[in-house]
Amino acid sequence: MSNASDLLDRINIPSPCQAEWDEMTGNDQVRFCVHCSKHVNNISEMTRKRALELVARSHGRLCIRYYRRPDGTTETLPDSPSRLYRIKRRASKIAAGTFSAALSLSSTAVAQTLTQPDQPVACRQTIQANNSSPQVMFGGSASLAGTVMDANGAVIPGANVALINETSGAQQSVTTDEYGQYNFQNLGTGSYSLSIFSNGFKSYFQRGLALHDGEAQRADASLEVGETVTMGGAMAVIASDPLIKAASENDLAAVKKLIEEGADVSKRDDETETTALDEAVMHGNRDMVRVLLGAGADVNARTKRKQTALMRLDEDGTAALVWDLVSAGARVNARDSDGDTPLIMAAQYSNLEVVRALISAGANVNATSHSGETALMAAAGADEVEIVEALFNAGANINARDHDGNTALKRAQENNYEEVIDYLKIHNALEDVTAVKLNN
């Protein structure tokens, strides 16, 4: 069901990356792209909860891939435990160029589209063009024009049309006009591929278009309705509330000024679904956190998914931040709507220092979410061997199972996290807990 306030349904990529997913190394959820030297998170292979967390915590440092349904909603997995959702420290040794793609989230933006995974397109820098002023690709005299329509013959304005030289990989892009027409001029002799993307339609591909100097060719296209797939780099949503916007920009001076002017320190922004305290915590800005707490910010305020500021700690978090929040009354064993505690969240999204501080503050190391997931399972599934060790030393049950029968070891094995696997086996993690229990 579509939710207008859901960040995932408001993703827009104005300059989509056109790398080939099947050529990347990794698993269904995260792969490494050698062209842009980034990990690409396929949020459509995650539960909505995991995908929302990754996007919300990204601070503009996340590259994502996702499927868009015809109704505009983003496809995700059912809300059951995701087996794996991140790859860290997995970088290819192959040297390659880079590609930059900007992604923004906006309640009014419409998502652009990208290639289906079985349709290879070279990852190249796009040469932007428009129909009124086509750009020279090779200085030739060939041209290619056409009309983009749907299955009923209605024209599709605003479709993204890319033409790629199959020999050099050079690319030119235009957008169809109000009549659904596109036009490429000054093309050199060669073989070309035509790619057309429009939100709510399946991507269109035509290869082997032979163009020759002096010739004018047409290539009309009919797009079928269907889900689309998009990939690019992510930025955080821009908050509409001035105080929360200042906090999201890590601007302490502006935060102090707005508080002095009477800003509501506990307000939650409609766009970002965060408070100023949430933003300060995600930035790891202790000074800002203390200013907001001193001004009366509600340390236990909850999001729609019942998450508190203590659950927002990520890789920028510190032990000092944990103690500031706990000293202000943050409940260390609070649960969100999925049953996750701050420790379970920190085990997959934060760092060793934060995990140790939460344990010292009284976090239950064997607390389980509604799906049966523990902090140890979360850490194993995120390739965090040091956090796995800290949790085990604090008394975490190494052979605990979630409701699907998965253990921490199984989480690590599914993604070949060798360090985690070795640690768990050395400390007597069982290969098949179910079988052992049945035999007993």
User: Chunked in runs of 10, what are the mean pLDDT values of the chain (440 residues)?
Assistant: 52 67 82 81 81 71 74 68 41 26 32 33 32 46 94 89 83 89 92 83 84 92 75 66 93 97 93 90 95 97 92 93 98 95 94 97 97 95 95 97 94 91 95 48
Q: Do 127-227 and 238-298 share a fold?
A: no
What are the pLDDT digits (tens) for 200-234?
A: 777 788 888 999 989 999 999 998 876 566 676 65
Handedness of CA 47, 58, 346, 264 (dihedral sign): negative
CATH superfamily of this structure's domain 127-227: Carboxypeptidase-like, regulatory domain (2.60.40.1120)
Which residues are bridge partners to 130 per DSSP?
133
Tell me the chain's radius of gyration from C-alpha atoms. 25
| Amino acid symbol at 286 | R
Residues with Cβ within 8 Å of residue 354, at least 6 apart in sequence: 313, 317, 318, 319, 321, 322, 346
- Tally the residues of the chain: 440
- Label residue 285 exposed, middle or buried (CB < 10 Å: 0-12, 13-18, 19+): buried
Helix, strand, coil abundance in the chain, percent, nearest 5: 25, 20, 50
| Amino acid symbol at 325 | L
**238-298 topology per CATH:** 1.25.40
- In the block, which residue shows the tokens 């009354």? 329
Q: What six digits make up the tokens of 7?
A: 């960040």
What angle, rounded to 10 degrees, do the helices at 385-393 and 352-360 form? 20
Domain 303-439: top CATH class: mainly alpha
Residue-wise DSSP of 116-173: -TTS-------EE-BTTBPPPSSS-SEEEEEEEEETTS-B-TT-EEEEEETTT--EEE
In Å, what is the CA distance from 298 to each residue of 22, 87, 173, 238, 278? 46, 34, 49, 22, 10
| Amino acid symbol at 147 | T
**Spatial distance between the Cα atoms of 257 and 406, rounded to a whole number of angstroms:** 50
Domain residue extents for the chain: 7-118, 127-227, 238-298, 303-439
**Spatial distance between the Cα atoms of 429 and 182, rounded to a whole number of angstroms:** 60
What is the pTM (predicted TM-score) of this model?
0.61
Q: Which run of H or E residues covers position 210?
A: strand 204-211
Burial state string for 13-39 with b = 16 or more CB within 10 A and e = fewer than 16: bebbbbbbbeebebbebbbbbbbbebb
Phi/psi at 150 (5° precision): -90, -175
Closest CA to 101 of 24, 174, 36, 20: 36
